[in-house]
Amino acid sequence: MRLTLHTDYGFRLLVYLGIHDGRLVSAREVAEAYGIPHNHLTKIIPVLVAGGFMESVRGRGGGLRLAQKPEAINMGLVGRALQVNAGLLPCLKCTVRLEAKKQFCPLAGPCALAHMLDEATEAFMAVLGRRTLADMMGRAEHRILKPALGAS
């Protein structure tokens, strides 16, 4: 199972907001702290806001913050929100129609591999579902970002 960059960046964004504990943080600050393209974050933010994982405050002095305590944010739910259309193989992406799938593989209709890989994805998400954002905010993350915390 491979996380998309979209999901990876979304996880990092939530960890950063969790470390900053309620302080409004700009997307640009997160992008600079992690070396993530700002335009990628701007695509992820609406997904995390719609999922109820974070809040976006507009205007001068606005920014981003968690909508819940880190202990209440289930990483399986976050993963499901961010991994949309991320089939393990091109033919498994739900946005690809059957006719297009047949270009990848003539077995696209009756293929048992799709079912097995769906099960594998579900098992992966189940493992994430046993973790919270607080679990992801390990001590190493705090040490790595300590200089960034003091710089703001």
CATH number, domain at 80? 1.10.10.10
pLDDT of the residue at 24: 96
pLDDT of the residue at 152: 45
Q: How far apart are the first and last CA of the chain?
A: 36
pLDDT per residue, tens digit, the chain (152 aa), is 678 899 999 999 999 999 998 899 999 999 999 999 999 999 999 999 999 999 999 998 899 999 999 999 999 999 999 987 656 665 665 545 555 555 556 555 566 777 787 788 888 889 989 999 999 987 655 555 555 555 44
Tell me the C-alpha distance between 108 and 105, whole Å.
Answer: 6
Q: How many domains does the chain have?
A: 1
In terms of Cβ atoms closer than 10 Å to its own Cβ (0-12, 13-18, 19+), residue 33 is buried
Question: Which residues span the domain enclosing 80?
Answer: 5-151
In terms of Cβ atoms closer than 10 Å to its own Cβ (0-12, 13-18, 19+), residue 25 is buried
